[in-house]
Amino acid sequence: MKIMVIQGPNLNMLGVREQHIYGPVKLEQIHGQMKEFATQNNAEIDFFQSNLEGEIVDKIQECYGAVDGIIINPAAYTHTSIAIRDAIAAVGIATIEVHISNIHRREEFRKTNMIAAVCASSIVGFGPFGYHLAMIGLMQVISEVKAAQEAQATQE
């Protein structure tokens, strides 16, 4: 099982930026814990962070045919990016969206979400633990997709 983790703009500043909202944990620490959990579950995992919308679109496209699932925190692009939404829809890979903060309890503009409708699920407001929850959820979704594909193949 292969998983790609995609982190959007300013998430490289975790541990520094608005600690009262995002907490003190750095992105490398989150990724370290995810790597450990993936290894324990025989999953391969890769990490990508970019502050640029087009680079995130390129990375999602690269996932086509290469990974089984995506965990994405599109950060501010969540609220604006039809391009990222279309890329997720285009590749058709099981995707879980994560937000460290509870975007529904913040400013009005954060209630607009371009991404959620093309994801299997969204996890918001659990802090960095949300990434762990996303991994558990994604592994379950990938297993279900694979089981359905195998059932389909035996029928053909």
Q: Report in angstroms how near the CB of residue 46 gets to ligand DQA at its nearest.
A: 20
Catalytic residue among 22, 64, 79, 104: 22
Q: Report in angstroms how near the CB of residue 143 gets to ligand DQA at its nearest.
A: 26
Closer residue to ligand DQA (CB): 38 or 113: 113
Rg (CA), the chain: 15
Centroid of chain to Cα 69 = 9
Closer residue to ligand DQA (CB): 73 or 95: 73
Q: CA neighbours within 13 Å on the CB side: how many for 132? A: 11
What are the E-state strand segments in 39-85? 44-49, 69-73
Instruction: Give dist(CA 111, CA 119) in Å, integer.
Output: 16
Instruction: Give dist(CA 135, CA 46) in Å, integer.
Output: 13
Q: Let me know if 77 is a catalytic residue.
A: no
Q: Let me know if 22 is a catalytic residue.
A: yes
Selection from 6, 27, 148 nearest residue 74 by Cα? 6
Token pair listed for 121:
């699920």
Q: Report in angstroms how near the CB of residue 8 gets to ligand DQA at its nearest.
A: 7
Q: Report in angstroms how near the CB of residue 116 gets to ligand DQA at its nearest.
A: 12
Catalytic residue among 20, 77, 79, 99: 99
Closer residue to ligand DQA (CB): 10 or 121: 10
- Residues lying near ligand DQA in the complex (CB under 6 A): 10, 73, 75-76, 78, 99-101, 103, 110
- If DSSP codes are grouped into helix, strand and coil, which group holds residue 101? coil
User: Active-site residue numbers?
Assistant: 22, 99
